[in-house]
Structure formats: C-alpha cells, structure tokens
Amino acid sequence: MESRKHVDAPPRVSVIIPVYNAAPYLRRCLDSVCGQTFRNIEIICVDDGSTDGSAAILAACAARDVRVRVLSQANRGQGSARNHGMRTACGEYIYFVDADDELAQPDAVERIAGMMDAQSLDLALFDAETRYDDGCEHLAHLVRSGAYVRRHDYSAVRSGMQMLADMCHRREWTASPPLAMLRRDLLEKSGIVFPEGFIYEDNVFMLRVFMAAKRATHVPWRLYVRKVHANTTTTAAVTIENLKGYLFCWQHVRNVLASDKDRRLPRRVRRALESCGRRFKWHVCNVARRLGEPLDSLYSRIPDCDANDLRIALHVSFTDKIGNALQCFLDNGFVYTVRRILFGRRI
C-alpha cells in the first residue's frame, strides 16, 4: 500500500466501497484496490454500521494510504452507503467495488479508465470471474460460474438504451455496478442515485444508467472477482425483504413503460424493459412461494400502497406460465425446464 504523503492532483477515479460486516474479505479487497497500477484514484470506504471489526481494518488501511477515506453511518443498507460515497466523490469517473469481492488484475482500473478517456464514454462494461468459497460449491445452482460473462460482442460504441436492448435480446444483461465504470457527470446531471430501503436496488440503478448513457461499450475482460459465499443477498434464505425488493424493481419497470405514453422509446428498448419486468415479476412469485405464507399474510406485511401491486404481480396467467417456461428453456435447457415443471425448484 502507498505510504501517507501529500497528493496534489485531483483524483481521476473515485472507487466507492460500501462495507458492512465484511471483515473476512475486506483486507484482500482493499489490497486489490490500493495495489492498482492506476495511482490517481480516491478510495471512499463507507462503513455502514459494521459490528465485526471491519471499522478497525478500514482505519488501519487509511493510516497507510492517503488515498483512502473512511466514512461512517448507521446501518441503512448498501444503496444508502453507495449514495453517501457518491455525494463526497471528486473523481471524473465512479467505480463501485463490493467489500467481499476483489479486482482480478492490478491494471483493471487503468485499462477501464483508459478506455473511458479514449472513447469519451459514459459507461464502460466488463466481465467477472466467479469464485466459490470453500464448502460453497453447492451454491452453483444459485450463481452459475459464467453468470457474469457475456459471450457476444458488444464492443461497438452505442447508446445505453441500445446496449440494454442488445444484451436483453441475447439474455446477457446483468445489473452489477462493480462491472461498470461510470462518468460522474452522467449520474449528477440525470439525478441517478441508488434507491434506499430496498435490496436489489442495483437493478433499478443500472436500468437508469443504461437509459441515460449516450455512449457505452463492453469489453470481454474479466477484471473483477465475484465471490460466492453463504451470507450474500443472492445465497441467503429468502425473507419478506426479498419480496419487497423484487416488487419494487417490477414497479419501477412498469412505471417507466406506463410513462412512455407517446411511444418515444424504440420498440427494441420497450421489449427489453418488458423482458426485465417479466423476470422481476417471476422473482416476486418465486419468493412468495418460497416464503410459504398465506397470501393474506403477505399482503399484511407489505405497505398498503404496494399491496394491490403485489396482488397484480402474483397473478400468473397461462400466457405468463408459457413465457416463463420458454425463458427457462432458453436460459437453462430442456432437461432443467422439464425438471422444474415436474418437481419445482430445488430450495
């Protein structure tokens, strides 16, 4: 890590790391960021009310590296922590790293920032490799090893809406802020922040980014390491918060489509958003089934203003079932689809 010294040049890249009880992974994460060959960065770590020793690790890192700033707040969730970091960021570009992951290569930031400069991009996308913690290989059915790798070519610069349509058409769109570098002006001028009070907030954030970006591209570089362990949002047992999060995502997409009364969105973009909406609705139904509660009980645990939307989301028509089966077949193949139809999802 870099010794403490005065840094005159303003940072080009603001790396924002939300931290909540990530002590087992945090040192490797910080080492991978502080050790980047691109030195002109600020590293903003937001401690979201950790109770496991993460705060001490952050303080030690900040004492060794002048580029590290530690912000603290009461536990309000990842979206709130990221927003806190964005409000204090000074870099031309914004890049998010999760505290339990790490950068795969020491020149990752340099390569992406260089691409942002060379092509005047608002949004640069790349890929990640997936690593399973010891004893967590059984979670591969929840997070596939190739889940964060796009197989098709998206290197031509296009608008974010076109990128969204192209990736959704090939079933390769994923909402993962750590797999994107963003121009800070894009976020500020468009008023894009993370929704707070929900999980899966990154879905809504990234949809807004794609819809606003004028110049975007993707490179098939695996510059990030996505770690799979037992206590992530993806792998932990579902709760009512999962239901609220997916319902919020579905409501957002539905509102975007409903507000486009003049049909200003290109047809392919509308189809992409409709595809995202179907996936969120499917997740709402799946989480509700896994919770195993009577519907009246679920409705009572959702704010009154959202209860009617939940009723609508949980209504699955025959057409919806056919569409879900087709999507399952395209994503997972014939054998898996038949097994799902006959026996349901293994929980």
Nearest residue to 53 via CA among 19, 74, 23: 23
Looking at 14-18, 54-58, 157-161, 316-320, which range is the least confident one?
316-320
Mean pLDDT calculated for residue range 113-138: 88
pLDDT classification of 146: cutoffs 50, 70, 90: confident
Per-residue pLDDT tens digits for 230-270: 666 665 678 999 999 999 999 999 999 998 765 688 999 99
CA distance 242 to 201: 11
- Neighbouring CB atoms inside 10 A of 308's CB total 11
3-state secondary structure of 227: strand
Report the pLDDT value the prediction gives residue 321, as an integer from 0 to 100: 63
User: Sorting pLDDT into bands at 50, 70 and 90, what band is 347?
Assistant: very low
Domains of the chain, by residue range, sit at 13-228, 240-316
Give the residue from 90, 237, 270 showing the smallest Cα distance to 169.
270
The mean pLDDT of 327-339, rounded to a whole number, is 71
| CATH topology for the 13-228 domain | Spore Coat Polysaccharide Biosynthesis Protein SpsA; Chain A (3.90.550)
Convert the pLDDT of each residue in 96-108 to its tens digit: 999 999 999 999 9
* Residue 4: predicted pLDDT: 41
Question: What pLDDT is stored for residue 75 in this prediction?
Answer: 95
- 270-294 average pLDDT score: 91
What is the length of the chain?
Answer: 347
Single pTM value for the model? 0.87
Burial degree of 297 (CB within 10 A; 0-12, 13-18, 19+):
exposed
Which residues partner with 128 through β-bridges? 224
In this prediction, residues 25-36 reach a mean pLDDT of 97
